[in-house]
Amino acid sequence: MVCRELPLHILIAPSWYPAHPGDINGVFFREQALALAKHGRKVGVIYPHLWSLRAWKSILSGKRGIELETDAGLPTMRSHGVNWFPRIRRAQHWLWRSHGLRLYQRYVDQHGRPDIIHVHAMLNAGALALAIQRRYGVPFVVTEHFSGYARGAVRGDRLRIARAVARRAARRFAVSRPFCDLLEGLLGTGPASWEEMPNIVEQRFLERSLRERNRPKDHFRFVNVALLTENKGIENLIRAFAKTFAEEADVTLDVGGDGPERLRLEAIAAELGVAGRVRFLGALDRDQVADVVAASDAFVLASRYETFGVVVIEALALGKPVIATRCGGPDAIVRKQDGLQVPPDDIDALASAMRWLRANADQYNPDSIRAGCRKRYSEKAVTDRLTQVYQDVVRHSDTGAP
């Protein structure tokens, strides 16, 4: 018997979200919401935006109250406030829920009651969805993205809240299988209680030309795009680059992104004598990321831990071979036909992989790399899976089953 497809109204509740066009903070949540809407689902977003006390200029001059926006056809509601209790976790979560419940009520007044809520990251949006479920009976699913679980940064009250959210979620997803395994052990939800659900690769990356080379044939360009923090392993990447290509002027490395490590990393490049061939590009918006990666020959990810690795699938969508550390999410993304994997924090292995890829890049077929990425991570591939999940949860909820 074939079940009739239900009309669905999906409310997205992210724990962080872009504040303006071009902001990449939470951009993957926005892109998934837009993809669901594009594929025929009724979708909305609510997000309590609480300023840090350190951002006092924004607090004094920023927005207040509830902001309503139609983002490329996507109804989006933000509640602007201040995180008055940054060190008191229970109070912080209470404040988030308070703002979120007001947003939810306003959203329902304008757009109707959603059938299901999709939470992105249990802290803080999961606690909000749990409050909505208890008060209004709306089921929710959760996709976890926060790498803090792997770094031991979720403890005490935060861990108790995460466990409560995970227990009450109708379905639980993480963006890679290793991350699922970690959450199952940490949150005590049992084996096979978390399912892998990847992020999507945005359509713009699948639509770009695969051949955008505008330099001499013998010039080879590696690229990395990341927030410049210690976890991203950029120091290892620069050292591997210098170790391998110190005397090869026709090989360069572009590093896109900004962060607290930038000045130190620039100093390391200068110390190693490669400052002229390691370009720090600064913060990039989504179009600039596509431009920079499209103009490269290979992408290198040197992270110590990644829950997924959206930049990796974006590189694959652009037909680029990838070198990635075996650091969690990329383990299942980068197949033999896509590139190479090396251990984290192994500069020699990374240097050898870069040397090999420089000499053998023509063994990789850009069209095949893109086709494999499209099959696994395109908007349609992921939204079809999500839609089936929503259908199953709503049907189960309608039956009155616990």
Least confident of 59-63, 152-156, 228-232, 262-266: 59-63
72 membership: H or E segment, kind and range: none
Whole-angstrom Cα distance, residue 109 to residue 105? Answer: 6
**Domain annotation covers residue 1:** no
Least confident of 143-157, 204-218, 267-281: 204-218
Question: What's the average model confidence in pLDDT over 61-66?
Answer: 72
Are 192 and 207 members of one domain? no
Q: Are strands 220-225 and 251-256 parallel, antiparallel or unpaired?
A: parallel
One-letter amino acid at 87 equals R
pLDDT of res. 61: 57
**Domain annotation covers residue 83:** yes
Are 289 and 144 members of one domain? no
Are 265 and 147 members of one domain? no
The dihedral formed by the CA atoms of 371, 361, 350 and 249, expressed in degrees to the nearest 10 = -130
- At 326, the pLDDT band (50, 70, 90 cuts) reads very high
Range of the domain at 100: 9-200+378-398
Do residues 285 and 254 make contact, with C-beta atoms less than 8 angstroms apart?
no
Assign residue 18 the CATH number of its domain: 3.40.50.2000
Are 191 and 209 members of one domain? no
Are 336 and 367 members of one domain? yes
**Domain annotation covers residue 71:** yes
pLDDT of res. 121: 95
Whole-angstrom Cα distance, residue 166 to residue 373? Answer: 30
Per residue in 288-320, pLDDT (tens digit) is 999 999 999 999 999 999 999 999 999 999 999
- At 213, the pLDDT band (50, 70, 90 cuts) reads low
Are 35 and 174 members of one domain? yes
Are 122 and 137 members of one domain? yes
Tell which wins on pLDDT, 55 or 389: 389
**Whether pLDDT at 179 is above 80:** yes
**Whether pLDDT at 209 is above 90:** no
Are 165 and 223 members of one domain? no
Number of domains present in the structure of the chain: 2
pLDDT of res. 398: 60
